[in-house]
């Protein structure tokens, strides 16, 4: 029902202002309780069956993973480590606008009045009196990178002259190696027989302090081709803040009256695992610490394009940066595609996780018409071939056409693909039935060992009115941007789901979810994100309610196989969508791990290998929710308990097993609305549970663990056997 509203939200490219400093009094909307909570704090008595192995189920090994698409500058300016904004003058932002008397959204100009997204000088500025920088298309570096800048020094230039880049709202400077590169060409009449010295530096934008500098001398700049210049920078100290710039300067005396054409700059800090052209260290580390098991990429809406031409063309994301044209991303800004297919694959390898590759399914959102643009049936072969080639690129033998391209790019070993998602949220269209069938049949025939994921299922209730028949063993990707009570009520949704819905063998991927707004009387989610109900940063109530739903999934490992929160990242300076799992800006000390992040880290770090049957002789689910698993490798039992009531609830857990010790980790906070923010990053963080004050009674063959479960808390108890 809220789905069609989502189209407009997804395409509005809205940039919201940042709010508050983490104080709950700043919140425009405040929750005092979760509507779906049963107000009953009477004791709960559980019996965990550790004896009857026939009643156990294997847990879902890939339940907790990651979703990444370039949204809210999560890619360019985010996890992609490149520090220069608009490094190749490809474009910056575009807007969507609603015009009177026109149907739907239209792409409007943002920084360029002629084309909505086009080369701009955003993030660059000249240094020195009379120094001029302009866009230049007369000296293209390559067909993919046709635009550079021309820099003209006046005849009377003196002192320090040059230009600078302000980064993605600043840049982090600390003691490490920064790799610098750029391309430069001279102007023959104005530079003849000159060699040039380029000084590159990292400086404070506030004080001008130079943190690191390097001069590349005697460069003989060609007039015919671009000369590739590289150097490194090594700051000795950490800059006091991230308001820093990257600067290229010259001695005015030596360049007066001269002109140069520059193209494709890069300033790369050290990356996660040292991978070239890789990931920003602190953000990648935060993902890694969650113990994820897979990565879904590259979208999301950003897979689909705002037109078929602007879809994520994987083959245009490969190879040298000089060959990557980039594209107008779906989320209102230009994507450089520096984070391309091979970089995504490398990301999964660096984190040792599975790949969930989303392939284009012949549907683009297309802001011009709300129902999007679909490939017709007689052109689906092209789209199938595109997907087949993409999979071949990932995992094909090096003798195959695309496998050999991968090998030529330095990775002869195949990246096995375990999951392929066919499209994204295709319930926005009425064409998925034929597109799914065509692509599924074609892909399954070629790659029978891959598990395929449908993005639509039972759309009978929408205006399109269709059902997708998902074959046994394949998955349905369902997305939930909802209210807290939705997740609480959904705790038992997957109990007997296959039988209830007649979907024998169909499995579930919760591909995107978050508590998007507080509980409202209607329960209808408003995707225009109104401030009086919208949840901007994940709160304790988000973690509690999302956690209840995830426990419901853990209880049903035969059905629920994968899940990932979305969106995963948000630049605090420029974003389309909130809430997000992790927020950041240029300063790594500002990276905020949200309540929802900690929830997933907790649940994902203590998975267990087998579910254990739990019966209750007193009390029922709600306000307490629980799941028990056995970890055969670590020889322990995990009991995950969530209390969504504003009072503590007495819990007894009977374990017919002698356990050696018990410890636990708890995620709670002072208030349902507590959240983490730049200036208050630890309001909601997991803490070790002080079990000594609540020691188990009855050690021995039949141990009883007694504990008052604190109000509004998520706890993982670990009983070592
Ligand atoms: O996560 C943000 C967006 O929400 C995704 O791109 C899309 O799949 C969904 O509509």
Mapping DSSP to helix (H, G, I), strand (E, B) and coil, where does residue 311 land? Answer: coil
Nearest CA to ligand 1 atom 9: 300
Atom of ligand 1 nearest to the CA of 10: 10
Give the tens place of pLDDT for each residue, 619-634: 999 999 999 999 999 9
Distance of alpha carbon 669 from alpha carbon 650, whole angstroms: 19
Are the CB atoms for 111 and 120 separated by under 8 Å? yes
Nearest CA to ligand 1 atom 10: 10
Q: What mean pLDDT do residues 103-113 have?
A: 79
Are the CB atoms for 269 and 235 separated by under 8 Å? no
**Cα of 686 from ligand 1 centre, angstroms:** 28
512 CB near ligand 1 (under 6 Å): yes
**Cα of 442 from ligand 1 centre, angstroms:** 26
Atom of ligand 1 nearest to the CA of 577: 2
Six-digit token string for 486: 């939705």
**Cα of 8 from ligand 1 centre, angstroms:** 11
Min mean pLDDT across 5-19, 124-138, 166-180, 657-671 is at: 5-19
301 CB near ligand 1 (under 6 Å): yes
Among candidates 397, 396, 377, which has minimal Cα distance to 387? 396
Computed over every residue of the chain, the mean pLDDT equals: 93
Of the chain, the percentage scoring pLDDT greater than 70 comes to 94
Ligand 1 pocket test, candidate residues 331, 424, 525, most atoms within 8 A of CB: 424
Distance of alpha carbon 452 from alpha carbon 300, whole angstroms: 16
Atom of ligand 1 nearest to the CA of 301: 6
Distance of alpha carbon 614 from alpha carbon 629, whole angstroms: 10
> Residue 460's pLDDT is what?
79
pTM: 0.95
Q: What mean pLDDT do residues 145-163 have?
A: 97
Q: What mean pLDDT do residues 482-510 have?
A: 96
Distance of alpha carbon 582 from alpha carbon 570, whole angstroms: 6
Sheet containing strand 227-233, strands side by side: 132-136, 148-152, 259-268, 178-186, 227-233
Q: Taking the CA of residue 715 as centre, how many other CA atoms within 13 Å lie in the half-sphere pointing to its CB? A: 28
> Residue 599's pLDDT is what?
98
69 CB near ligand 1 (under 6 Å): yes
Does residue 613 have a pLDDT over 70? yes
Higher pLDDT among residues 12 and 292, named by residue:
292
Among candidates 339, 318, 498, 325, which has minimal Cα distance to 409? 318
**Crossing angle of helices 341-351/380-395, nearest 10°?**
40
**Cα of 355 from ligand 1 centre, angstroms:** 19
Among candidates 228, 262, 267, which has minimal Cα distance to 84? 267
Give the tens place of pLDDT for each residue, 596-607: 999 999 999 999
Q: What mean pLDDT do residues 684-693 have?
A: 83
Bridge partner residues of 76 (DSSP): 80
Distance of alpha carbon 477 from alpha carbon 566, whole angstroms: 13
Distance of alpha carbon 357 from alpha carbon 553, whole angstroms: 22
428 CB near ligand 1 (under 6 Å): no
Does residue 498 have a pLDDT over 80? yes
10 CB near ligand 1 (under 6 Å): yes
The full DSSP string for 235-287 is: -SS--SSS-EEEEEEEEHHHHTT-EEEEEEEEEE--BGGG-TT-BBHHHHHHH
Ligand 1 pocket test, candidate residues 479, 513, 527, 580, most atoms within 8 A of CB: 479
Of the chain, the percentage scoring pLDDT greater than 90 comes to 85
Q: pLDDT-based confidence at 26, cuts 50/70/90?
A: low
- Long-range contacts, stretch 206-209, CB < 8 angstroms, 24+ apart: 206/241, 206/243, 209/239
Atom of ligand 1 nearest to the CA of 331: 6
Distance of alpha carbon 252 from alpha carbon 254, whole angstroms: 5
424 CB near ligand 1 (under 6 Å): yes
Atom of ligand 1 nearest to the CA of 67: 1
**Cα of 92 from ligand 1 centre, angstroms:** 21
**Crossing angle of helices 432-446/380-395, nearest 10°?**
40
């Amino acid at each position: 029902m809220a789905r069609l509203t989502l189209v407009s939200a997804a395409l509005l490219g809205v940039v919201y202002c940042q709010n508050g400093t983490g104080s709950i009094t700043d919140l425009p909307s405040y929750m005092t309780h979760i509507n779906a909570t049963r107000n009953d704090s009477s004791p709960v008595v559980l019996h965990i069956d550790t004896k009857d192995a026939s009643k156990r189920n294997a847990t879902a090994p890939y339940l907790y993973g990651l979703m990444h698409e370039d949204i809210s500058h999560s890619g360019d300016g985010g996890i992609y480590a490149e520090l220069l904004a608009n490094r190749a003058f490809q474009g910056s932002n575009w807007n969507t606008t609603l015009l009177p008397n026109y149907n739907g959204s239209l792409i409007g100009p943002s920084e360029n009045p002629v084309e909505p997204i086009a080369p701009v000088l955003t993030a660059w500025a000249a240094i020195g009196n009379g120094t001029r920088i302009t866009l230049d298309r007369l000296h293209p570096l390559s067909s993919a990178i046709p635009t550079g800048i021309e820099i003209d020094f006046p005849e009377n230039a003196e002192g320090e002259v040059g230009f600078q880049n302000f980064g993605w709202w600043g840049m982090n400077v600390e003691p490490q190696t920064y790799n610098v590169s750029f391309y430069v060409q001279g102007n023959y009449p104005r530079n003849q027989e000159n060699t040039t010295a380029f000084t590159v530096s990292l400086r404070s934008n506030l004080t001008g302090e130079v943190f690191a500098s390097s001069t590349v001398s005697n460069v003989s700049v060609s007039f015919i081709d671009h000369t590739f210049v590289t150097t490194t920078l090594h700051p000795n100290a950490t800059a006091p803040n991230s308001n820093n710039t990257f600067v290229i300067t010259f001695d005015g005396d030596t360049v007066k009256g001269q002109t140069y054409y520059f193209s494709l700059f890069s300033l790369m800090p050290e990356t996660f695992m040292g991978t070239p052209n890789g990931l920003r260290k602190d953000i990648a580390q935060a993902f890694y610490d969650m113990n994820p098991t897979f990565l879904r990429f590259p979208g999301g809406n950003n897979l689909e394009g705002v037109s078929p031409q602007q879809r994520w063309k994987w083959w245009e994301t490969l190879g040298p940066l000089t060959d990557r044209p980039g594209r107008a991303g779906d989320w209102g800004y230009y994507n450089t595609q520096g984070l391309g297919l091979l970089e995504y694959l490398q990301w999964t390898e660096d984190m040792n996780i599975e790949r969930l590759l989303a392939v284009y399914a012949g549907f683009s959102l297309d802001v011009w018409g709300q129902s999007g643009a679909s490939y017709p049936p007689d052109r689906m072969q092209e789209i199938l071939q595109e997907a087949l080639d993409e999979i071949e690129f990932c995992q094909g033998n090096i003798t195959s056409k695309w496998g050999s391209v991968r090998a030529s790019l330095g990775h002869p070993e195949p990246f096995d693909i375990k999951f392929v998602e066919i499209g994204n949220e295709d319930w926005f269209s009425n064409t998925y039935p034929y597109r799914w069938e065509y692509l599924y049949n074609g892909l399954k025939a070629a790659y029978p060992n891959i598990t395929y994921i449908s993005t639509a299922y039972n759309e009978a209730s929408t205006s399109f009115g269709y059902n997708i028949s998902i074959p046994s063993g394949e998955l349905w990707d369902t997305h939930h941007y909802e209210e807290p009570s939705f997740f609480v009520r959904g705790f038992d949704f997957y109990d007997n789901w296959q039988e209830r819905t007649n979907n024998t063998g169909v499995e579930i991927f919760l591909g995107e979810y978050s508590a998007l707004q507080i509980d409202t009387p209607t329960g209808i989610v408003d995707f225009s994100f109104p401030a009086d109900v919208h949840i901007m940063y994940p709160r304790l109530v988000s973690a509690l309610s999302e956690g209840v739903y995830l426990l419901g999934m853990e209880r049903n490992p035969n059905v629920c196989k994968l899940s990932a929160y979305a969106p995963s990242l948000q630049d605090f300076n420029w974003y389309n969508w909130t809430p997000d799992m992790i927020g950041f800006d240029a300063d790594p000390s500002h990276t905020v791990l949200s309540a929802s992040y900690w929830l997933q880290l907790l649940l994902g770090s203590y998975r267990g290998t087998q579910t254990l049957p739990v019966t209750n002789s007193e009390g029922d689910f709600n306000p307490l929710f629980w799941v028990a698993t056995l970890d055969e490798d670590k020889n322990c039992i995990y009991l995950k308990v969530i209390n969504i009531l504003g009072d503590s609830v007495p819990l007894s857990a009977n374990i017919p097993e002698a356990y050696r010790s018990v410890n636990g980790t708890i995620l709670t906070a002072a208030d349902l609305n507590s959240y983490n923010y730049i200036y208050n990053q630890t309001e909601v963080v997991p803490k070790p549970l002080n079990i000594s004050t609540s020691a188990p009674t009855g050690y021995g063959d039949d141990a009883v663990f007694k504990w008052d479960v604190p109000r509004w808390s998520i706890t993982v108890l670990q009983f070592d056997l």
